[in-house]
Amino acid sequence: MKNPFVMDCGEFHVNYKQDMRIWKIARVRWRVFLLIAVFALLPLISSDYLIGLATLCGIAAIGAIGLNILTGFTGQISIGVGAFLGVGGYTSAILTAKLGLSFWLAMPMAGIITAIVGGLFGLPSLRLKGLYLAIATLAAQVIILFIISRWDAVTGGTAGLVLSRPEIGNFAFYSERSYYYLMFTILVLTTIFTLNLFRSRVGRAFIAVRDRDIAAEVMGIDLFKYKVLAFVVSSFFIGIAGALLGHYTMIVSPEMYSITVSIEYLAIILVGGLGSVFGSIYGAVFITLLPVVLRAGVELLSGVFPELSAVLIGLKEVAFGLVIILFLIYEPQGLAKIWKNIKDYFKLWPFSY
């Protein structure tokens, strides 16, 4: 029998199918299955508060994967994520609350509508690159938010709309736990879809456009089509995240989709790792939990130094900015790279000369 403590040396694939796997080594595959199982079973033993936090992390992760497809993989900065989340949330809200459609139809529709809107705002991307494109997407943010807050008849104006939780037959996803499972399923599907996308033709074309657009075009990639396509695919997932978030908070209102949200999502993919699917998830967890942890820290300290708490609460924003700056300086490739470094270190441990 094989010694379970000894690692295999080398990968021996005998056909292309094996070589194309996302996780090429059986041991790693089992680790992934185990991790999915752990996250699937976790809500059974944790409190509603923790499950709620996890749900928010997961929804942010779905949106972040969407943004990473556009910014990390295709190299097009977008500051319009907040508004695109809004399009998803409002579409689902209008379809379910006003038109009486079921959530299961409204959520994919929210994705599709957001994809169309995203594609429209992606049209300038052929002519604009880098900062210029960022400003163009900022226009998307402002225009969409303006429409949402002024078109009272449809969107309810600044008061927003009230949503209900989704239902299957008689079962409604009212408990934290059930909504977690809904989010978890969609997150797993999103992750698998994106990982697959980037090991096939379209994903490669996205990366090629990011790395060298001129060479990509000479090799037969229609730049315009793929740049807009990146906006479409990315916005689809952001729209889905928006719908999920809307049905989770059960209300959508303009201030939920401000530019701060856009910046937060950019921070997620920066901290997590540009061009990394798992990085998006790490980043989403990190940025979502950071304020929570900071608040807990402040509360803890204010017990000891009551007069300091007022100052410390103000420092929360500072700490948030500081984290992003530190990541940009010390590990621009984010948490995904840090995790890889740790794994690489232990590959040769304890003889890592």
Query: What are the residues binding another protein (CB under 8 A)?
Result: 16-17, 20, 193-194, 196-197, 199-205, 207-208, 211-212, 214-223, 229, 233, 275
Reading the block at residue 121, the tokens are: 């705002």
Q: Which is nearer to another protein, 202 or 326 (CB)?
A: 202
Q: Which residues of 16-41 are buried (b: 16+ CB within 10 A; e: fewer)?
A: eeeeeeeeeeeeeeeeeeeeeeeeee
Given the structure tokens 């429209």, which residue do they identify? Answer: 120
Q: Which is nearer to another protein, 218 or 304 (CB)?
A: 218
| β-bridge pairing 161-162 and 171-172 | unpaired
Q: Which is nearer to another protein, 180 or 198 (CB)?
A: 198
Q: Which is nearer to another protein, 205 or 269 (CB)?
A: 205
**What is the smallest separation between the CB atom of 331 and another protein, expressed in angstroms?**
17
**What is the smallest separation between the CB atom of 169 and another protein, expressed in angstroms?**
28
Residue 181 neighbours by CB distance under 10 Å: 15
Q: Which is nearer to another protein, 94 or 281 (CB)?
A: 281
CA 301, chain centre distance (Å): 32
**What is the smallest separation between the CB atom of 41 and another protein, expressed in angstroms?**
27
Query: Which amino acid, 160?
Result: G
**What is the smallest separation between the CB atom of 74 and another protein, expressed in angstroms?**
12
**What is the smallest separation between the CB atom of 78 and another protein, expressed in angstroms?**
18
Alpha-carbon torsion, ordered 22, 197, 136, 79, to 10 deg: -40
Nearest to 176 by CA among 266, 280, 51, 71: 51
Which residues does 134 contact at the CB level (< 8 Å), separation at least 6?
77, 78, 79
Q: Which is nearer to another protein, 217 or 331 (CB)?
A: 217
**What is the smallest separation between the CB atom of 240 and another protein, expressed in angstroms?**
13
Rg (CA), the chain: 22
Alpha-carbon torsion, ordered 173, 176, 180, 181, to 10 deg: -50
